[in-house]
Chains A and B, each alone.
Chain A
Amino acid sequence: MVKLLGAAVLVLASGLAGLSVGSSYTRRPRELKSLQTGLKLLATEISYALSPLPEALANVAARAPDEVAPLFRMAAGELAGGGSAAGAWQKACARWGEGSSLAPCDLALVNQLGQALGISGREDQLSHLELVSGQLEQQIAQAQEAAAKNTRLWNYLGFLGGAALALILY
């Protein structure tokens, strides 16, 4: 009886682990897309509203999708606390990246944006935002491809692996 219970727990645990790995594959393209939306909002703030960076970041944080709003909020907070725009953006990036399911290469892309924010002219900042947005487009396509392939695989793999392990140990 105890053995049966243990086997059930094992299958359930590895199944849920598989599901969570699978869901991280579906979350990545979604987060990349909302990141792109956030950057577009920031570009609008810079080009039309002409608001200074702390204000622009706060405005974007209020309007951006839920997944990326913390990034802009943290950047605005860091900037309000003093220091350079690049440092604030990179710190916010690092803290936000911990909780997200983005790959390191996505974060590096966003991170490098910090070097252009707030220090150069409007045109220059806009062209940097445009560049990063275009690169994000490529990452989104890649991430969607990976998600289509891997999500179903991991959903099955967790349960099947757990069942096989339970059977071997039984």
Chain B
Amino acid sequence: MANVDLIFKIAGIGILIAVLHVVLKNAGKDELAQLATLAGVIVVLLWVIPLLAGLFDQVKSVFRLF
């Protein structure tokens, strides 16, 4: 499996963002906490989207939906 690394990276980002959210919220910066969470989601999305595109291409080619 070539992309197991990516799963670990996503897990790492998830943990870091979760801690960051709690720290920012405790400091009374709720809106920054939301922003950090949103940034985490976007970063992970940018990593995952190419893989999803690959998956859809594969599905299309398997069922000959061209």
A residues lining the B interface (CB < 8 Å):
149-150, 152-153, 156-157, 160-161, 163-164, 167-168, 170
Contact = CB atoms under 8 A, between A and B. Distances in A.
Interface of B: 9, 12-13, 16-17, 19-20, 23-24, 26-29, 40, 43
Contact of B12 (A150, A156, A157, A167): A167
Contacts, number: 36
Contact of A170 (B9, B26, B27, B28): B9
A168 B13 CA distance: 8
A150 B20 contact: no
B16 A167 contact: yes
Interface of A is mostly: helix
A156 B27 CA distance: 11
Interface of B is mostly: helix
A153 B24 contact: yes
Given A149-B28, A170-B9, A164 B17 contact: yes
Contacts of A160: 16, 19-20, 23
Nearest to B10: A167
B12 A153 contact: no
Nearest to B19: A160
A44 B65 CA distance: 91
B20 A153 contact: no
A167 B26 CA distance: 24
